[in-house]
Structure 1
Amino acid sequence: MHEQDSIKENVVLQTVPRLPILRSQDTTSDILRVEHHHQPANQKSECCLPKYLISIHLGQPIQLERIIDGQYSHDCLAKGDIMITPPHLHRKLFWDVNADFLLLRLEPKLFASAAYESIDAEHIQIVPQLKICDPLIQQVGLTLKTELERDGLSDRLYAESMANALAVHLLRRYSDQTRKIRTYPGRLPGHKLQQAIDYIQAHLAEEVSLEAIATELDMSPYHFARLFKQSTGYSPYQYVIRCRIERAQELMVQELQSIASIALKVGFASQSQFGRHFKRLTGVTPKQFLQK
């Protein structure tokens, strides 16, 4: 596979032997793309992309040779080992046996948003990591893989929430800056919280975006998400799901509509997604709820 584009003055290059077996939907590609790869033995890849790349090894151990910006290195990667590559870093990889890995592509704007209050926000860089063990990244990656397998990671708010969490974690642990990313104690002011809730309620049937809510409140997505959770006990994503299920229950009592129709009416991408969240939060399936 070959992908070649031109972004400003940077040439974008990616060559891998095979396309990913699964990849997330385009609805979230401007912030996060998740790919599950099975690549054949004794092959090579080359890339230079304008994104942050996190690679999580999933399969059997492999011997991996790398040439990164002209520097050679060699490692044995085992299950759970992670590589982190910042944007525009040219790398060539060679491996000896079938490689099974998850690739997360994060947009630079996520990092700018998370670090915007830092004095040197524009100059913060993530230091390349060739082989690390990071339980948080692994947990987030496997959770994203599950969502990818279920519905293609189609929920934008969910993808934004996970991507923002990853960006903040990378800035805190792998940045070249000693200055820490600010934490936000306290809660949203009452009027800001009500403004966020009103926005969510007004847009439940649509694709609710973390960025859109934060913009409405004139805050960064990271700042808003932290204070919203500290104010309500729920992340914005968890809160929206709860609101959608409550709205669905009201419609199921009031109107004679199909479960599929109600699922779409309250903002779920599919009936199966709706059913999964409905049972998780209520303890019964939508059909069982209607039969009560």
Structure 2
Amino acid sequence: MNGPTHHSIVEIDLDNETGLLSSIPEGIGRRFETSVGGVASVTRPPGSMVFRTNAEFASVLLAPVPNMESAFASDRVQVFDAPVGTLIVNPSNVDRVIRWSVTKQNAAIAFSKKAYTDLATAELDGGNWELQPPRFGHVDVKALRIAAAMAAEISDRAMNALYLDSLFTIFGIHLIRTYSQPRAAGPAKRKPLPKNVAKQVIEYMHAHLAESVTITDLTRICGLSPSYFIRAFTLTFGVAPYQYLTMIRLDRAERLLIETTLTIEDVALQCGFSSQSHLTNMMKRFKHVTPGQIIRTRRPAQR
């Protein structure tokens, strides 16, 4: 075997919803946690470990690893090439042995017990949602796309927690739909948010534009699971929650740029953007104009 023979036991305690990634060593990559889940963009030198988690966990390779060695529980160790996009699903309370002989880059994604149970209940109508790991070396392009978006987001200085919550929900639903035991129940009917609930959610967004707004904050208002809420919100408004929040932040910023003498930096902070450059980038992307252009062409001249 090319890798070291010594294993370290890595247990991630997902009973503690504020420390989903606390057992992943510091200094091997950026990480971020919400009440829904945690994601770490991990870079590790050649090594080995025995990994166990008491909730659902997944790892997606962001760089190829030839001749990876792995096994679940007491199964025979298998040797396989792991290209970019290789997905390894780690069911709860199952040991996984893993060895790698080159630098390993992956996105590690963990879910809190409550969040994952809510997702599974909504998707499987209370059915059996035990995950069935795919074969070693299995490539999942959709999982890669979502995991890469997560890794990019936590590396961005202007990281959006609401966007990450949406990605956690999408990734969790994908795991449940693709790697769970078959069920007989048909798909749940999609319904929009009730009018009074939609009004409360939008009012909350407007009242907290300058703050970090998460899916948990919004679902707390209406008592819905994250997956149901995101679907219902999108059906109601035609865009995902984080997209809607971004647009009302940009609308508010545009008004402040025209109607006040605030600097672009002050406007950015009052509207929930991390910096002047963050506001500028988002305005260029969604409104095809910069804050400076708005000030020059639409703010009344000072007498």
TM-score by length of 1: 0.85
1:241 aligns with 2:246: yes
Unaligned runs of 5+ in 2: 1-7, 298-303
Aligned to 1:22: 29
State the shift of 1:265 in Å. Answer: 1.0
AA matched with 2:180: S
Q: Is the contact made by 2:10 and 2:49 (CA closer than 8 Å) also made in structure 1?
A: no
Secondary structure in 1 matching 2:269:
helix
CA contact (8 A) 2:269 2:275 kept: yes
Match of 1:257 in 2: 262
Matched, 1:231 2:236: yes
Alignment match of 2:73 (pick from 69, 76, 89): 69
Q: Which residue does 2:151 correspond to in 1?
A: 145
Is the Cα–Cα contact under 8 Å of residues 244 and 267 in structure 1 kept in the other structure?
A: yes
In structure 2, what is the equivalent of residue 78 of structure 1?
83
Q: SS state of the match for residue 84, structure 1? A: strand
Aligned residues of 2:12 and 2:54 also touching (Cα < 8 A): no
Query: What do you get for the CA RMSD once the two structures are aligned?
Result: 2.8
Larger-Rg structure: 2
The alignment status of 1:217 with 2:222, answered yes or no, reads yes
Partner of 1:132: 138
Name the structure 1 match of 2:64: 60
1:172 is aligned to 2:169: no
CA distance in 2, matches of 1:186, 1:13: 34
Paired residues, number: 283
Q: 1:61 Cα deviation (Å)?
A: 3.8
CA shift for structure 1 position 162 = 0.6
SS in 2 for 1:222: helix
Change (3 A) 1:15 1:71: farther
Cα deviation per residue 1:254-282 (whole Å; 9 max; x = unaligned)?
Answer: 22222222212112233333222121111
1:70-219 to structure 2, matched below 5 A, reads 70-72=74-76, 73-117=78-122, 118-120=124-126, 124-129=129-134, 130-151=136-157, 154-179=159-184, 182-219=187-224
Give, in whole Å, the separation in 2 of the partners of 1:23 and 1:54.
Answer: 17
Change (3 A) 1:15 1:164: closer
Using the alignment, how far apart are the partners of 2:168 and 2:145 within structure 1?
13
| Contact 2:83-2:139 at 8 Å conserved across structures | no
Task: Determine which structure has the larger strand proportion and give its number.
Answer: 1
Alpha-carbon distance, 1:49 to partner: 2.3
Contact 1:33 1:104 in 2 (8 A): yes
Q: Which runs of 5+ in 1 are unaligned?
A: none
TM-score scaled by length of structure 2 = 0.82
Q: 1:102 to 1:180 in 2, by over 3 A?
A: farther
Q: Distance in 1 between matches of 2:239 and 2:147?
A: 21
Distance 2:281 2:37 in 1: 23
